[in-house]
Structures are given as C-alpha cells and as structure tokens.
Amino acid sequence: MGHARTSYVCLPCRASYKQSYPEPYDRARERRCPRCARALIHVGSAFAPPRRRDVSAWRALSVVLRAGIRFHKNCCFGGPGYRPRTLSEVKAGLVRAQRTGEPIAKALLGVDERGGGH
C-alpha cells in the first residue's frame, strides 16, 4: 500500500503537484515549485486542479485559496464540499459577503439564493 499523498499548487505557474503528507516533525518545511522555486500552497488531498490553460479557473482558485479555503476530505461526506470554480461563482460569493457582512471564506462556500447548493 502506498503512502498517502496530498496536493500542493503554484499559482504563478498554474501547476499542481501530488506529494506525500508532511511528517509531524517536518510540517514547518516549505515545499518549493520545481518550475519557479516559489513556495507551494498546500491545498489538500481532495483537490482537482483546473487545466493549466484555463486562466479564469486559476484566477478563481487564487481567490478561494487567498480566502483560506482548502480542499481536505471530509470523513462523513468523502469530499471537501462545494468550492467555487469559476470567476462568476467567486464574484457572486464576494457580492454575498459584502451584502450580508459575513466573512469572505464563508460567503464563497455559501448556498445561493435559489435555495440549493452550487
């Protein structure tokens, strides 16, 4: 059986890398992008990267990650739940945050006004 792996991304390179989970004594080690040597962002094991040429999806992902949202598996549901994947979904969440006063991360993960999930 292989070791558990998790995803890291480099936003400037629009690249995703699967790497082993950091050991408890090694959590402070910073992972570096093999292309540009910038620090990688740990996004979680349930992350599915957009295609590299889908600039709009990477821009949306950038907002989601900067809001502190990650893609970790949930023990009850198996996946991370809803995450905005397009700029229009991100913009709707930002408008909702401004209108309601709720934190941006919570608004980005919110349910739309039609009553259903995204």
What does the domain layout of the chain look like in residue ranges? 5-108
The candidate with the shortest Cα–Cα distance to 41, out of 59, 14, 23, is 14
Using DSSP's 3-state secondary structure scheme, residue 112 falls into coil
Q: What is residue 116's predicted lDDT score, i.e. its pLDDT? A: 42
φ, ψ (nearest 5 deg) of residue 39? -65, 135
* DSSP E strands, the chain: 5-10, 15-20, 41-44
Residue numbers of the chain with a pLDDT score lower than 50:
1, 112-118
Q: What is residue 115's predicted lDDT score, i.e. its pLDDT? A: 39
Scan for tokens 């941006």, then name that residue.
104
Query: Does the pTM of the predicted model rise above 0.75?
Result: yes
CA 49 remoteness from chain centre: 9
Could you report the per-residue pLDDT of 54-79, keeping only the tens digit for each?
Answer: 999 999 999 999 999 998 876 655 56
